[in-house]
Amino acid sequence: MNLTHREADLIFSIMRELTGEFSHAEVRRRVGRWMLELLDADYFASYLWDEGSGTFISGVHLNMTEENLARYEAHYQYRDPITPTLQKRRKATPVSEIMAHDRLRRTEFFNDFLYRDGLYYGINFFAYDRGENIGDLRIWRARGKEDFSRRDAELVDAIGPSFVNALVRANRLASGVPALRFAQRGADWGLTARESEVADMLVTGLTDEDICAALCISKPTLRSHVGAVFRKLGVQRRSQLGHLLGDIAARQNLHS
């Protein structure tokens, strides 16, 4: 997709920030702030799905009231006509794609929950890791603005891989397994500073185009760095990089 300079700057800023080490709630809160700016939106909430109880827990929010969200958690999530369908999607989806807005406005969920805080048009993204829903983004605009478009959904999807990887690292951190980065251990494999930077960006799921734009390098230069990273680390696929860091972190935790 063609990005404006503003959109490209915001998306790359989000991707860079998501390479840091934050708690699960802080990852979602930080992404929420960026999403409101990127999408010219007004409200944000995010939950963690608990498979055992079949409920959404550990909510974070921006510009919504604690009282209304408490009502959602205690009652309205069980009267929610949109989220169960949205949760099955593996990509960002405007709410109006799964329920016409005129129909949504006639529901108890809209009138007694959403609209109490001013939420009018919504878009959701549910993050998955190996089939498990590990977090979500619920972004809403106020009445008087335009509904979310398919292009808006593509903007959210652009940061999806980085968001998923940040949540995975946060879960490892919470379990006591350090969320290592190649920037911390690159010298152990003889990686240069730039090679370590490239390796960390590959782990977050960034595309070649994203990395080239963020580092201001050409694709041939990137391919050279990726080849050196693979050779020095003894891997053949990008997916192996994250597993390598996880294994090292787990061994460190075992011996600490």
Q: What is the mean pLDDT of residues 219-229?
A: 94
Q: pLDDT value at position 179?
A: 56
Residues linked to residue 49 through DSSP beta bridges, in sequence order: 56
What is the residue-averaged pLDDT of the chain? 89
Contact assessment for residue 46 and residue 30, using Cβ atoms and an 8 Å cutoff: no
The two counts, helices (H) then strands (E), for the chain are 12, 5
pLDDT tens for each residue of 42-51: 999 999 999 9
Rounded Cα distance between 90 and 131, Å, is 10
How much is the pTM? 0.74
pLDDT tens for each residue of 5-61: 999 999 988 988 888 778 899 999 999 999 999 999 999 999 999 999 999 999 999
Q: Who wins on pLDDT, 254 or 65?
A: 65
Q: Is the pLDDT of residue 171 over 90?
A: no
Structure tokens that stand for 110 in this block: 């809209």
Contact assessment for residue 163 and residue 18, using Cβ atoms and an 8 Å cutoff: yes
Q: Which domains does the chain have, with CATH numbers?
A: 5-174 (3.30.450.40), 182-255 (1.10.10.10)
Where residue 111 falls among pLDDT bands split at 50, 70, 90? very high
Amino acid identity for residue 121 in this structure: Y
**Residue (of 128, 159, 127, 206) closest to 34 by Cα position:** 159
Give percent above pLDDT 70 in the chain.
Answer: 92
With both helix axes pointing from N to C terminus, report the angle between 219-233 and 239-255 in degrees, rounded to the nearest 10. 40
